[in-house]
Structure 1
Amino acid sequence: MKVFVLIVLGIAFVSARVLPQDTPVHLRDIGSPSIEGRITNGNKAATNQFPYQVGLAFKSSSGSWWCGGSIIANTWVLTAAHCTKGASSVTIYYGSTTRAVGTVTKKVSSSKFVQHASYNSVTLNNDISLIKTPSVTFTASIKKINLPAIASSYSSYAGQTAIASGWGRTSDSVSASASTLQYAQLKVITNAVCQQTYGSSVVTSGVICVASTNKVSTCQGDSGGPLALNSQLIGVTSFVSSNGCEKNKPAGFTRVTSYLIWIKSNSGVSY
């Protein structure tokens, strides 16, 4: 009888979790920040279309990598924890659609990084970081993006179309020749649907996912960049399928509404 009870409990435990069908991978672009690329099969951004978007060229003793970020105040940028992890400094490019070129450029040391203390590189949970920056003056090409209201924490955004932007790779097989900021309109899906691909240990309440269709998705180099809806920042680019960006598998973002209190307590930026 005891053995039977243990078996039943084991089945119940497994049933309570959604097991992964695919493995996620972060989208940090390893290599020289001058390597060019874009969101797979996206659209070219117009000048000043995404004034809250910044380019981030990270450096460490072992190499360099490229990510994106979002301006949430004139002294704060929000990005992904897997972007800041291991870096000694970052060069921030403001106000330009051209990669590694900015109308304003700031260099910041890792002492100004506020990486989430519970970031887990295995489950990819809590993939969020703040960067304290020298003050920048807002212009037509440099502006902050608003955070969602705390009441929005109860919204899943499922079924709504959001916009992701970045300089990530244009495809799984080649490096892009274009050097301008790209964007894509992507439909938000429920976490339950996303868990069918990546499992419930990865797709927690702190994650928001979008569907990828017609090979349109985020890709390497888009990490840390914005997912915006109605002029509000709802996601931070985090992961895609390890099988590739063009496999029409969901793309994952850190859900900003889950971290509004964390952002406020560490930066003073209110929602």
Structure 2
Amino acid sequence: MKVFIVLTLIIAGVSAKVEEQVHPKDLPRSAKIQGRITNGYPAYEGKAPYAVGLSFNGWWCGGSIIAHDWVLTAAHCTNGASSVTIYYGATWRTNAQFTHTVGSGDRNDIINHHNADIALIRIPHVDFWHMVNKVELPSYNDRYNDFNERWAVACGWGGTYDGSPLPDWLQCVDLQIIHNSECQRTYGSGTVTDNILCVRTPDGKSTCGGDSGGPLVTHDGNKLVGVTNFGTSSCTSGAPAGFQRVTYHLDWIRDHTGIAYY
């Protein structure tokens, strides 16, 4: 009986192995600037007018327009960056409607959260139209809504599967939000805390390298609920993908930008 108990504990320990989280920005990539949505679908022009491409010195990320003068993204994209070029309305990545370049100088256009993987970029005022527009944040009435089992869409630029040639057309993928307890079975409770939101990635559908900082927007109500943060080393593994939970950061966003919905 003692031997059986020991073997049971060993097996349980193996099955509880925690996957290491990987920022999509840090996944191996080709020499070409890239973003990736794996096994998604090409976006039609104007599908995600809030999605922007962010070109840093040597890496590429995504972001979301949340006001005429603000973009929301991930801090692991902006950390160490002295400047960033924002690509607006670029269904084809290299064919943006227009671009802006801003820096982290005296005006502090790049604001990193000190304790979470989320960041703000102050941009010059942009006018909205069907190709360039904002996405709304959740309202304060939804600040305790976990959005579990709700469907949402993530968008980014690049290849459609691990190791694929990397097209520049904007790709989107529909993903279902899951309970944090389900996500913790893959990454552990130390990684998946209250500020994290996760999605299932069935059939190889997921975010991947270069999508860091990009949007996760609900189908119902078109609210920005997630900022792309992490996955595993293989984007098509079926492991959940992790995002910063926007509702957790509503006060921080409001305090820096004045943006809030009540």
**By the TM > 0.5 criterion, same fold?**
yes
Deviation (angstroms), 1:53: 0.5
Matches within 5 A, 1:1-271: 21-28=18-25, 34-59=32-57, 64-111=58-105, 112-118=109-115, 126-176=116-166, 178-229=167-218, 230-242=221-233, 244-271=234-261
Deviation (angstroms), 1:38: 3.1
Identity %: 47
Deviation (angstroms), 1:35: 2.9
Pair 169,23 (structure 1): closer, same or farther in 2 beyond 3 Å: farther
Q: Does the Cα contact within 8 Å between 1:146 and 1:231 map onto a contact in 2?
A: yes
Superposed CA offset, 1:212-269 (max 9, x none):
1000100001110000012110000000013x10000000000000000000001111
Deviation (angstroms), 1:75: 0.4
- RMSD between superposed Cα atoms in Å: 1.7
Deviation (angstroms), 1:31: 6.9
In structure 2, how many angstroms separate the alpha carbons of the residues matched to 1:100 and 1:23? 33
- Which residue is 2:4 aligned to? none
Pair 32,21 (structure 1): closer, same or farther in 2 beyond 3 Å: closer
In structure 2, how many angstroms separate the alpha carbons of the residues matched to 1:165 and 1:180? 11
In structure 2, how many angstroms separate the alpha carbons of the residues matched to 1:154 and 1:174? 39
Deviation (angstroms), 1:131: 0.2
Letter in 2 for 1:47: E
| TM-score normalized by the length of structure 1 | 0.85
Q: Does the Cα contact within 8 Å between 1:235 and 1:256 map onto a contact in 2?
A: yes
Deviation (angstroms), 1:174: 3.1
Query: Secondary structure of 2:54's match?
Result: strand
Query: Secondary structure of 1:241's match?
Result: coil
Deviation (angstroms), 1:170: 2.6
Query: Secondary structure of 1:259's match?
Result: helix
In structure 2, how many angstroms separate the alpha carbons of the residues matched to 1:96 and 1:194? 32
User: Which deviates further from its counterpart, 99-108 or 222-231?
Assistant: 99-108
In structure 1, how many angstroms separate the alpha carbons of the residues matched to 2:30 and 2:124? 24
Deviation (angstroms), 1:98: 1.0
In structure 2, how many angstroms separate the alpha carbons of the residues matched to 1:34 and 1:136? 28
Letter in 1 for 2:259: V
User: Which deviates further from its counterpart, 180-189 or 165-174?
Assistant: 165-174
Q: Does the Cα contact within 8 Å between 1:164 and 1:218 map onto a contact in 2?
A: yes
Q: Does the Cα contact within 8 Å between 2:140 and 2:260 map onto a contact in 1?
A: no
Pair 20,191 (structure 1): closer, same or farther in 2 beyond 3 Å: farther
Query: Secondary structure of 2:251's match?
Result: helix
Letter in 1 for 2:76: H
Deviation (angstroms), 1:34: 4.8
| TM-score normalized by the length of structure 2 | 0.87
Letter in 2 for 1:231: N
In structure 1, how many angstroms separate the alpha carbons of the residues matched to 2:64 and 2:189? 27
Structure 1 gaps of 5+ residues are 1-18, 119-125
Q: Does the Cα contact within 8 Å between 1:166 and 1:181 map onto a contact in 2?
A: yes
- Which residue is 1:122 aligned to? none
Superposed CA offset, 1:170-191 (max 9, x none):
3222342x21100000011000
